[in-house]
Amino acid sequence: MIEERHVRELLERSEDDAALVLVEGRAEVVAPAGLASEPYRGAAVLMTRADLVDRLGTADPSEDRLRTLASTLATMAGELGA
Model's pTM, two decimal places? 0.88
Our CA angle for 27, 68, 78, nearest 5°, is: 45
pLDDT of residue 81: 63
- pLDDT at residue number 24: 87
Q: Rounded CA gap, 31 and 34, in Å?
A: 5
Tell me, what's the pLDDT at 50?
Answer: 97
pLDDT tens-digit series, residues 11-21: 999 999 999 99
Q: What's the pLDDT tens digit per position in 19-45?
A: 999 998 899 999 988 988 999 988 999
Q: Are 69 and 7 in contact (CB under 8 A)?
A: yes
How many Cα atoms within 13 Å fall on the side-chain side of residue 4?
8
**Residue 47 φ/ψ, nearest 5 degrees:** -165, 140
